[in-house]
Amino acid sequence: MVARGTAQLIAGAQPSIVFVDATHPLVRRATDQDLVLLGWYRDAQCLLLQLDEADDAAAALAVAANDDARFEDLRPLAPQIDATEAGLLAYARAIVHWQRRHRHCGICGAPSVPTRAGHVMCCTSSTCGTEFFPRIDPAIIVLVSDGERALLGRQASWAPGRYSTIAGFVEPGESLEDAVAREVLEETGVSVAHARYHSSQPWPFPASLMLGFEATAAPGSIARAGSELEDARWFTREELLAGAAILPPATSISRRLIERWLRPQDATRR
């Protein structure tokens, strides 16, 4: 598969990854530093080829591989892409972003270069040589309920009427449970207890791992928006099922947490 910056080569009205094989001229002339080994995919060794972003000729050659091929960024495409391909694109995008943000050693400032099939960035200074590994930023996302209602918030930049679960980054030295309690209190003024882990979702925009929780608030807790939200409020199941809020996309962990709360009997059956 081929990337130009964080955009990736895809094709089709129902987008799918365009793979080029080892005989493609772009692959034949690639150096080790242009390639990232992603592993085995559909019984073939899968590598990511990174094109120079400024090289329009290389991009044109890549697009020529397929009638409808084009470079697009994953985020707007994610809801339309097959889940397995989306996972591969997310992996590749995360590695590209990490490499691009670690072009210099954080210790001595010398340039760093990709090594070990692209999974280590190594300082080129002979006296330093520090190795840097891919990083992810943990973030919590939580469905808070008081038993009868769910606590959702909205940012000012979102489309009117859209609400989502409360989320935020984990701070250094903090447990996940503490992060849940702090974020909910800061963003909504609500105190929660009994944070329980539910599931997770990689979120390579740019480098997060979303850790999904459910938490309980005291009945009658009053919500007020903190500095990061335009509004925070409680919704009953009836309100949400009647469309009182525009919910996040079906592929998001936020929606998964909301749906589980809305329809606990369905979640149990799955």
The helix/strand/coil state of 212 is strand
- Looking up tokens 């882990």 gives 197
The helix/strand/coil state of 185 is helix
Residues in 109-138 at the binding interface with Zn ion, rule: CB under 5 A:
110, 123, 125, 128, 130
46 binds Zn ion (CB under 5 A): no
- Looking up tokens 């500095």 gives 227
How many residues at the interface with Zn ion, by CB under 5 A? Answer: 8
Q: Across the chain, which distance is largest between two alpha carbons, in Å?
A: 65
Of 22-30, 65-73, 98-106, 159-167, the segment contacting Zn ion by CB under 5 A is 98-106
Rg (CA), the chain: 22
Both structure tokens of 37: 């080994």
Quick note: the x/- pattern for Zn ion over 53-92, rule CB under 5 A, is ----------------------------------------
- Nearest 5°: the CA angle 58, 63, 64 is 95
Min dist. Cβ of residue 108 to Zn ion (A): 3
Question: In whole angstroms, what is the distance from residue 230 CA to residue 225 CA?
Answer: 6
110 vs 185 by CB, closer to Zn ion: 110
Both structure tokens of 235: 């919704």
Min dist. Cβ of residue 104 to Zn ion (A): 8
> How many CB atoms within 10 Å of residue 144?
29
Min dist. Cβ of residue 97 to Zn ion (A): 21
Among 22, 44, 107, 241, binds Zn ion (CB under 5 A): 107
124 vs 199 by CB, closer to Zn ion: 124
184 binds Zn ion (CB under 5 A): no
Min dist. Cβ of residue 121 to Zn ion (A): 10
Min dist. Cβ of residue 100 to Zn ion (A): 18
Q: What is the DSSP string of 192-227?
A: EEEEEEEEEEEETTTTEEEEEEEEEE-TTPPP---T
Contacts with Zn ion by CB under 5 A lie at: 105, 107-108, 110, 123, 125, 128, 130
